[in-house]
Chain A
Amino acid sequence: MSHWAWLIPALPAIAAVVGLFTARWMPGGPAVPAIAGTAGALGVAVAALAVVEDAPARIRESSVEWSPIGGMTLHVGTRMDGLAAVVAVMVCVVALLVQIYSTAYMAGDPRYSAYAAEVSLFTAAMLLVVVASDLFELLIGWEVMGLCSYLLIGHYWQTEGARAAAVKAFITTRIGDTGFLFGIFVLGLGAHTFDISGVTEQASSLSHTTVTAGALLLLAGVVGKSAQFPLHVWLPDAMAGPTPISALIHAATMVAAGIFLLARLYPVFVAAPVALTVLGIIACITMLGAALAALADDDLKRVLAWSTVSQLAYMAAGLAVGGWTASVYHLLAHAAFKALLFLAAGSVLRTVGTNLMSEMGGLWRAMPVTSITAAIGALALAGVPPFAGAFSKDGILAAARERGGGLGTAVFVVGLVTLAVTAAYVTRLFVRTFLGGYRGRAQLHESPLVMTGPLVLLSALVLALGLPALPHRYGVSRWLGAPPSTRSLHVGIGEVALTTLIALVSIGAVLLLHSRRPATDPVAVLGPVARPLARAFYVDEVYDTTLVRPVRALARGVVRVDSGGVDAVVVDAGRTAGFAGGALRRLQRGNIQGYLTGLVAGVLVVVISVSLAVAR
Chain B
Amino acid sequence: MHLALAVVLSALLFGVGVYGVLARRNAVALLMAVELMLNAANLDLVAFDAYWRDRLHGGQVFALFLVVIAAAEVGVGLAIVLAVFRLRDTSDVDELTELAEHEPAQVADVTG
Contacts and interface: CB of A to CB of B under 8 A. Distances in A.
A69 interface: no
A585 B100 CA distance: 9
B94 A591 contact: yes
A547 to B, nearest CB: 32
B107 interface: yes
Contacts of B5: none
A589 B93 CA distance: 12
Given A585-B101, A590-B100, A592-B93, A600 B110 contact: no
A546 interface: no
Interface in B70-112: 93-94, 96-101, 103, 107, 110-112
A615 B66 CA distance: 31
Given A567-B112, A571-B110, A575-B110, A600 B99 contact: no
Contacts of B23: 593
Nearest to B111: A571
Given A578-B107, A588-B101, A589-B97, A600 B112 contact: no
Contact of B99 (A574, A578, A585, A588): A588
Contact of A600 (B22, B93, B100, B103): B22
A597 interface: yes
Contacts of A585: 101, 103
A592 B21 CA distance: 10
A117 B15 CA distance: 88
B98 A590 contact: yes
A328 to B, nearest CB: 57
Contacts of B96: 590, 592
A596 interface: yes
Contacts of B110: 571, 574-575, 578
B11 interface: no
A585 B99 CA distance: 12
B6 interface: no
B18 interface: yes
Given A578-B107, A597-B22, A600-B18, A588 B100 contact: yes
A578 B100 CA distance: 18
A593 B112 CA distance: 40
Nearest to A578: B110
A590 B97 contact: yes
A164 B36 CA distance: 84
Interface residues of A, number: 15
A588 B23 CA distance: 18
Interface size class of B (residues with CB under 8 A): 10 to 19
Given A596-B22, A600-B18, A600-B22, A589 B111 contact: no
B29 to A, nearest CB: 12
Contact of B21 (A575, A588, A593): A593
Contact of B112 (A571, A589, A592, A596): A571
A480 B12 CA distance: 114
Nearest to A588: B101
B92 to A, nearest CB: 11
Nearest to B23: A593
Q: Which of A585, A588, A590 has the largest count of B CB atoms less than 10 A from its CB?
A: A590
Contacts of B18: 600
Contact of B100 (A575, A589, A596): A589
A568 to B, nearest CB: 9
Contacts of A578: 107, 110
B22 A590 contact: no
Nearest to A570: B112
B4 to A, nearest CB: 18
Interface string B1-30: 000000000000000001001110000000
Nearest to A571: B111
A591 B30 CA distance: 13
Interface string A557-574: 000000000010001001
B22 to A, nearest CB: 5
A16 to B, nearest CB: 40
Nearest to A586: B101
Contacts of A590: 96-101
Interface centre among B96, B100, B110, B112 (most CB of A within 10 A): B110
Contacts of A588: 99-101
Contacts of B112: 567, 571
A592 B25 CA distance: 10
Given A571-B111, A571-B112, A596 B21 contact: yes
A567 B97 CA distance: 40
B82 to A, nearest CB: 17
A551 to B, nearest CB: 26
A439 to B, nearest CB: 56
Contacts of A575: 110
A600 B21 CA distance: 11
B30 to A, nearest CB: 8
A593 B93 contact: yes
A318 B103 CA distance: 80
A591 B92 CA distance: 11
A588 B22 CA distance: 16
Contacts of B93: 591-593
A400 B98 CA distance: 96
Interface string A584-616: 010011111100110010000000000000000
A117 B25 CA distance: 80
Contact of B22 (A567, A571, A593): A593
A434 B101 CA distance: 83
Contacts of A592: 93, 96
A181 B10 CA distance: 89
9 contacts: A578-B107, A585-B101, A588-B101, A589-B101, A590-B97, A590-B98, A591-B94, A591-B97, A593-B94
Interface of A: 567, 571, 574-575, 578, 585, 588-593, 596-597, 600
List 10 tightest A-B contacts by C-beta distance, closest first: A590-B100, A590-B97, A588-B101, A574-B110, A590-B99, A585-B101, A589-B100, A571-B111, A597-B22, A593-B22
